[in-house]
Amino acid sequence: MIRLADYATTPPEDANWKKLEKLTDKYQERIGELNEILRAERNHAVLVVLQGMDGSGKDGAVKKVFKDCTHFNVSVYPFKKPTELEFAHDFLWRVHKQVPAKGEIKIFNRSHYEDILIQRVHGWIDEDRVKNRMEAINAFEKLLVFDNNTTVLKFYLHISYEQQAIELQQRIDEPEKHWKHNEGDWEERKLWKQYMKAYEDVFNWSEIPWTIVPVDERWYRDYIIAKKVCEAMEALNLQYPEMEK
């Protein structure tokens, strides 16, 4: 049973910043190499799901972890409020169109889980629909895994309540971050406890496990995500295809 209160938002006390920074660089470089083989082999797909409260560093994680990847087969899709057309379909309709094809890495900045997080917290859907949607998500993710050789990696960027306030205030104080400022983020912050409970239910109901990533220190966030992605791609035993004769 996952309880977020049991998980630190900071690195372990014995974590060596310089050592882990070097390891992160190696993981980044190797992810770039494996990405090229993935692209050539076209037998596997990789889906990376990033979820977290506002200010938890989803954009920064993408920029850092995948910096050595070619843009030919790596892309990011940010899930925002559904359009009228999307609202007129089932909640997974807009998601299925964005999943990676074989040979691709796709990164979801927020994801299909928004439809059982924000909608639940605000009371826009009842608990029966929440549970039905979670069952649909589990089935959907299994479909990706077993029908399309998709490796699904899910990360929750675990930021503290105190650090989030710092991150959101920086968007007001620092001109280069003004574009990120959204007054609505401060309103959502008032629902922190409700969001934590909703996230915990998502983690405990998921059949494909989540990685809880401490993100108060960004360098440790990058290390954990890069390590997990690299190890998962190594496990695929990717091979360049032989030249056709």
On whether residue 244 sits in a domain, the answer given is: no
Sheet holding 150-158, edge to edge: 74-78, 105-109, 45-52, 150-158, 210-214
What would the pLDDT profile of 168-193 be if each residue is shown by its tens digit? 899 998 888 889 888 888 888 999 99
Q: Judge whether 170 lies within some domain.
A: yes
CATH code of the domain covering residue 214:
3.40.50.300
Using the predicted structure, report yes or no on whether residue 8 has a pLDDT greater than 90: yes
The tokens describing 36, both together, are 């090229």
With a CB cutoff of 8 Å and minimum separation 6, the contacts of 204 are 1, 2
In a domain? residue 4:
no
Structural domain span for residue 195: 14-234
Question: Residue 26: inside a domain, yes or no?
Answer: yes
pLDDT in tens, 233-242: 999 999 999 8
pLDDT of amino acid 183: 87
The answer to whether residue 150 is domain-embedded is: yes
Residue 245 lies inside a defined structural domain of this protein: no
- What mean pLDDT value characterizes the chain? 95
Q: What is the pLDDT of residue 245?
A: 72
Q: Is residue 225 part of a domain?
A: yes
Per-residue pLDDT tens digits for 69-82: 987 889 999 998 88
Q: What total of structural domains would you count in the chain?
A: 1
Query: SS3 of 75, please?
Result: strand
pLDDT tens-digit profile of 120-164?
Answer: 999 999 999 999 999 999 999 999 999 999 999 999 999 999 999
pLDDT at site 115: 94
Distance CA 161, CA 166 (A): 9
- 67 assigned to some structural domain: yes
Of 3-7, 104-108, 110-114, 181-185, the least confident: 181-185
| Mean pLDDT score, 206-221 | 97
Distance CA 163, CA 217 (A): 9
Question: How much is the pLDDT for 45?
Answer: 98
